Amino acid sequence: MSSWPGPGSAEPVEYIFPATLAVLRDIRACVTRLARAAGIAAPEVERIVLVANEMAANAVEHSGADAVTLRWETTDDGVWITMADDGVFAIRVRSPSERGLGLKLVLGLADEVTVRAGRQGERGTTVRLRMRVSSRPRVSPAETPGPSRILIVDGDRFAGRSLSLFLEAEGYPNTLAGSAQAGRAALTDPFLLAIVDLTTSNGSTLALCEEITRVGIPVLTLSSLPPPATLRPDRFLRKPVHPLEVLTAVRQMIASLVTGAAAKAPHA
């Protein structure tokens, strides 16, 4: 029986790729970003990327489909990956010299695998698997020193609201400001950190970032334009950016705050 995702699962994400061998590199890069965003350690990331690559290669090489769909979901009991296409799973006898190790690798490395093979007149192949992970470090806002809210400054109503709701669902309460002026006014309340879109209010948020930094609040900046030279590169993300990448940066910055607070704490 398959243990399908239940409580504790994050919102699944889907990506569609053209079914070409050249796109396998993009699929590997995509899975790498998703795994790192989920807080998975490097050795397990490599294992997950290897399995995803073999799934995608099988779909590209043997299904005859025009596109493949990658679905990713993180849960309390591991990572679920689904690779689907609208093709027919080709079955043929291989010679000993042929590669043919993809499915063996998938079965050997994954903890749970289901395959729904497409057939003539019933197209559509889906391979779904679960991989347990032992390292998904999460830093809870409750474990951080001082205030726990995040200030988000974004003039794009849709993007700002989407990021606000996503971080709220991940356990990070926040305040959303739609302009540099509103963000400045919100600073009367204490914040753990700030996320600022640099294109908000025609770029006047750069001065706001300096003000926020002066009061001791770390700032994560976002922009569709190249970052100003004065900004720290480890605190800048180029838009468009996936919410999971923002979440990863937030967790890393909060972890740094926790480490810094622990180092300053008096020892008994």
DSSP string, 50-91: HHHHHHHHHHHHHS--SEEEEEEEEETTEEEEEEEESS----
200 φ, ψ to 5°?
-65, 140
The residue written with tokens 């294109």 in the block is 199
Q: Long-range CB contacts (< 8 A, 24+ apart) of 204-211?
A: 204/180, 205/153, 205/180, 207/180, 208/153, 208/180, 208/183, 208/184, 211/184, 211/187
Q: Where in the chain is the domain with CATH 3.40.50.2300?
A: 150-262
194 φ, ψ to 5°?
-125, 145
The residue written with tokens 């569709």 in the block is 224
Q: Give which of 149, 214, 204, 161 is closest to 181, Cα–Cα.
A: 204
The side-by-side arrangement of strands in the sheet containing 219-223 is 174-177, 150-153, 193-197, 219-223, 236-238
Q: Give which of 88, 24, 82, 69 is closest to 50, Cα–Cα.
A: 24
Architecture of 10-132 per CATH?
2-Layer Sandwich (3.30)
Q: Which CATH superfamily is domain 150-262 in?
A: Response regulator (3.40.50.2300)
DSSP assigned state of 206: H
pTM: predicted TM-score of the whole model, two decimal places: 0.49
The residue written with tokens 């607070």 in the block is 261
Report the DSSP pairing between strands 150-153 and 193-197: parallel
Q: Where in the chain is the domain with CATH 3.30.565.10?
A: 10-132
Query: What pLDDT is recorded for position 135?
Result: 57
Q: CA-CA distance, 255 to 139, in Å (whole number)?
A: 6
Q: Give which of 178, 156, 174, 155 is closest to 166, Cα–Cα.
A: 174
Query: What pLDDT is recorded for position 10?
Result: 57
The residue written with tokens 């043997």 in the block is 62
Residues 6+ away with beta carbon under 8 Å from 106: 51, 54, 55, 113, 127, 129
Paired tokens of 150: 């995040």
How big is the chain, counted in residues? 268
Q: What average pLDDT values come out for the chain (268 residues) when binned by 10 residues?
A: 41 87 89 84 83 86 83 86 80 44 72 77 80 63 64 91 86 92 92 94 87 91 85 80 85 78 50
- DSSP characters over 4-44: ---TTPPPPEEEEEES-GGGHHHHHHHHHHHHHHTT--HHH
